[in-house]
Structure 1
Amino acid sequence: MAFRSPFRISRQLLSATGVRSVTRSFLGCGDRRCGLATAVPPVTQDVTGSKGPTAMVFLNMGGPSTTGEVEDFLSRLFADGDLIPLGRLQSYIGPLIARRRTSKIQKQYSDIGGGSPIRKWSEFQCEQMCKLLDKMSPETAPHKPYVAFRYAAPLTETMYQQLFADGFGNGKGGRAVAFTQYPQYSCSTTGSSLNELWKWRNRLEAKGNGSTEGAIQWSVIDRWPSHPGLVEAVAQNVEAQLKTYPEEQRDKVVLLFSAHSLPMSVVNRGDPYPAEVAATVHAVMQRLNFRNPYRLCWQSQVGPSAWLGAQTSDTVQEYVKRGQTDLILVPIAFTSDHIETLYELDLEVIHEANSPGVKRAESLNGNPVFIQALADIAHAHLQKGEPCSTQMTLRCQGCRSERCLEQKKFFAGKELSSLVL
């Protein structure tokens, strides 16, 4: 996340040429495919009978849909110590940083069409996935789509209230699956979103006497870094961009996989994110038969402290200086376009490279291969009946957070809580 761009918190936030035009038209279209998800009708719960209905809740960082939402978005972002640790004065420093950066970030969102498309894409992806799940898993149908963003509307609290309005929880029981849209787990992203979900569940559903009768029964899809469908969707986008180069040059094009960075303090604590991102990159390259040279680099550094590198912008500049001017940037930790791709990569990194050979692979967005992958992941989770992965039961080696400990125990449930360390 580097706040050189909106993010520089897109170099900046911890989230080819046809892509920009497609995205701008997407932002302004009225077609239902690219609009908000359809309203979810109320449901009737019967927790003693059918396994359905099932609420499918996409978790993500989110982004301001309009420039008017930027300051609130930044205030929440900089107040989150899981994402950007600022110490004991975070609640004071965070809003100050947000106010100082608001006008600059508003300009950046204006440059990509007036706001982030992440909500539209997330709601579209979740809605389409649920349609597939209804056919794949009729015993847990109907599957109802919801989105819960960490820093922008719809916020977790709003999503939870919508669950109540639609007949889930609040004494009625029912099942919900928290499905992280960060393929690779980090305490700063998935962990933060789960902390927020756990907080609001306790505030809204825990009775004064400790009873949780009739509360929503949660399970979690907490990571999926090397799922074959994700790998295939990314690989196809890379292959499509490679075809834009002359055939005799294609195998010499360097692939630069780019993911948002982390503070080294988080990495050294034992966060699994760098290893899981690397696993995604290796799986994609294996699918591509390792035909091209490649590197993994990191974007969106913010602040003066040490962050995981090398930075994407520096990497591109260095290779261009060395004469390697055919480069494809591949977003590898983002499930749709947002400020880091549309502004940081497209309008900063590629523009500053000043070379027609530097391009970007399409983001996943409405890719049908990717949406089928989401349905496959969800279906497998529903079939297994597990509360979460066993990998989620481990805290980082250097973690001292009691909140993280209790959150993991809650989502692990009776079955796996004994494994939480």
Structure 2
Amino acid sequence: MLNRNFFKLSNKKFSCAFYNTHRNKSVKTGIVMLNMGGPQNNDQVQDYLYRIMTDTDMIQLPLQKFLGPFIAKKRTPAVQKKYNEIGGSSPILKWTNIQGELLCKKLDDICPKSAPHKHYVAFRYVSPFTEDTLQQIENDKVERIILFSQYPQYSCATSGSSFNTIYSYYKRKPFPQSIKWSIIDRWGTHPLLVKTFAEKIVDELNQFPETIRSKVVIIFSAHSLPIEAVNRGDSYPSEVAATTEAVMAKLGYRNPYVLTWQSRVGPVSWLGPFTDVAIEEYVKKGIKNFILVPIAFVNEHIETLHEMDIEYCQDLGKKVGVELIRRVAAPNDHPLFIEALSDLVSRHLCGEESINPKFLLRCPSCTNVRCHESKQWFHKLCSV
């Protein structure tokens, strides 16, 4: 199990320190790191949940205008309790800033023509909000922007929501003509990301007795998706599966493994099998040793620190009679992971890539007009 005390570094202090370091430097290239974010204190939890439950890109609910706020308010006390149990806040901002600083430091070395580089954090549901970050970029007079989704596997509910928000922001105000734009929308099978997960899995396997090591079941777990989105054609499930297969191929398929889904919420049907159910059912079958892998998460947050560590490894494991269950850490600041980030961005800075054709293709059954308009807009934006 991971030591959660390690994740109690103050997000606020780190952010201020980073800002003070960079505020006097001119910025030539900005790396905009897109993510949903997480509350930095308990006072932000209800607004955070409200923004999620009323975002139709993230989730579609019956009578969402009324049901979304109701669910957010009802869930707030329980979610606040969970954050208290992992140190009082989400570490996503801290880790994103660490990753961004390490990324830009490496880019300054390997891509001097586009230096200095600066990372910007653009969250969807909590500060720093995407809209505020875009305004800061304009104030900094940045010449080149890389919009970099921090979700390795693309989903309309996550990456799509972030890109649609950027489109909506500029639809309402004058667009800065002097900036050159590029998009990194998915990267779930990047060799260095795959190698990062593979090395972390080996580290955890080595903690099991040698006599049972080859029989340990590797459970790859990712945030689930409503079945409605799956049937619409969202590529997320297949992209998560592709990452899983790439990691297992890197490991030589040395262990039995399964892909499961977690974090379902609300009165809709979700993609399964569910991670907690899989653990319980395997134990019934006599399988009692597991490694959990957060295959769709690049940094620690409530789904890893609470749902995986406390709810699954600790509480569920004890309840159903697991012998040994360990959890692979998210990539965080692993050197190979930072290499993966820098390789992805450097390809865009060198002019090899600007936009993925797959990004421009809508889901087969998509009816979201804003999604259609957004993709057309980004196509023109990145073709300039």
What is the TM-score when the length of structure 2 is the normalising length? Answer: 0.94
The match for 2:159 is: 190
The match for 2:294 is: 331
The match for 1:250 is: 213
Of residues 335, 341, 346, the one that matches 1:379 is 346
| Cα distance in 1 for residues equivalent to 2:260 and 2:7 | 28
Instruction: Summarize deviations over 1:159-208 as a string: whole Å, max 9, x none.
Output: 1121123223xxxxx221110000001101100010011111233434xx
AA aligned opposite 1:197: I
The match for 1:116 is: 90
The match for 1:83 is: 58
Of residues 278, 285, 290, the one that matches 2:241 is 278
Classify the secondary structure of the residue corresponding to 1:257.
Answer: strand
Q: Post-superposition shift, 1:217?
A: 3.0
AA aligned opposite 1:53: K
| Cα distance in 1 for residues equivalent to 2:183 and 2:374 | 12
Moved over 4 A (4+): 29-36, 414-417
| Cα distance in 2 for residues equivalent to 1:260 and 1:334 | 9
Q: Post-superposition shift, 1:115?
A: 0.7
The match for 1:141 is: 115
Q: Is the 8 A contact 1:134 1:141 kept in 2?
A: yes
The match for 2:258 is: 295
**Greater alpha carbon shift after TM alignment, 373-382 vs 347-356:** 347-356
Confirm or deny that 1:24 pairs with 2:5.
yes
Of residues 379, 400, 403, the one that matches 2:370 is 403
Q: Is the 8 A contact 1:43 1:53 kept in 2?
A: no
Sequence identity (%): 45
Classify the secondary structure of the residue corresponding to 1:146.
Answer: strand
AA aligned opposite 1:41: R
Of residues 13, 17, 23, the one that matches 1:41 is 23
Structure 1: any 5+ residue segments left out of the alignment?
A: 1-16, 45-51, 169-173, 207-211
| Cα distance in 2 for residues equivalent to 1:414 and 1:304 | 38
Instruction: Summarize deviations over 1:334-355 as a string: whole Å, max 9, x none.
Output: 0001111111111111121213
**Structure-to-structure mapping, 1:177-326, within 5 angstroms:** 177-206=146-175, 213-214=177-178, 216-326=179-289
Q: Post-superposition shift, 1:150?
A: 0.8
Q: Is the 8 A contact 2:130 2:165 kept in 1?
A: yes
Classify the secondary structure of the residue corresponding to 2:118.
Answer: strand
Classify the secondary structure of the residue corresponding to 1:28.
Answer: coil
CA RMSD, Structure 1 to Structure 2 (Å): 2.1
Cα 1:124/1:204, change in 2 over 3 Å: farther
Confirm or deny that 1:364 pairs with 2:331.
yes
Instruction: Summarize deviations over 1:111-169 as a string: whole Å, max 9, x none.
Output: 0110100000001101110110111111111111111011111110111121123223x
Q: Is the 8 A contact 1:147 1:159 kept in 2?
A: yes
Instruction: Summarize deviations over 1:199-228 as a string: whole Å, max 9, x none.
Output: 11233434xxxxx534x3321100001001
Classify the secondary structure of the residue corresponding to 1:187.
Answer: coil
| Cα distance in 2 for residues equivalent to 1:114 and 1:250 | 36
Q: Post-superposition shift, 1:243?
A: 0.7
Q: Post-superposition shift, 1:93?
A: 2.3
**Structure-to-structure mapping, 1:92-107, within 5 angstroms:** 92-107=66-81
Of residues 111, 119, 124, the one that matches 1:150 is 124
The match for 1:388 is: 355
Q: Post-superposition shift, 1:369?
A: 1.2
Q: Is the 8 A contact 2:217 2:256 kept in 1?
A: yes
Instruction: Summarize deviations over 1:361-390 as a string: whole Å, max 9, x none.
Output: 111112111111101111112223533111
| Cα distance in 2 for residues equivalent to 1:292 and 1:279 | 17
Of residues 34, 37, 57, the one that matches 1:62 is 37
Q: Is the 8 A contact 2:181 2:381 kept in 1?
A: no
| Cα distance in 2 for residues equivalent to 1:33 and 1:232 | 28
Classify the secondary structure of the residue corresponding to 2:212.
Answer: helix
Cα 1:272/1:163, change in 2 over 3 Å: same
| Cα distance in 2 for residues equivalent to 1:197 and 1:175 | 16
Q: Post-superposition shift, 1:415?
A: 6.9
Confirm or deny that 1:72 pairs with 2:43.
no
AA aligned opposite 2:151: Y
Structure 2: any 5+ residue segments left out of the alignment?
A: none
Cα 1:153/1:275, change in 2 over 3 Å: same
Cα 1:193/1:67, change in 2 over 3 Å: same
Q: Post-superposition shift, 1:31?
A: 12
| Cα distance in 2 for residues equivalent to 1:377 and 1:389 | 12
Q: Is the 8 A contact 2:120 2:133 kept in 1?
A: yes
| Cα distance in 2 for residues equivalent to 1:416 and 1:393 | 12
Q: Post-superposition shift, 1:33?
A: 7.5
Instruction: Provide the aligned length of Structure 1 versus Structure 2.
Output: 379
AA aligned opposite 2:165: E
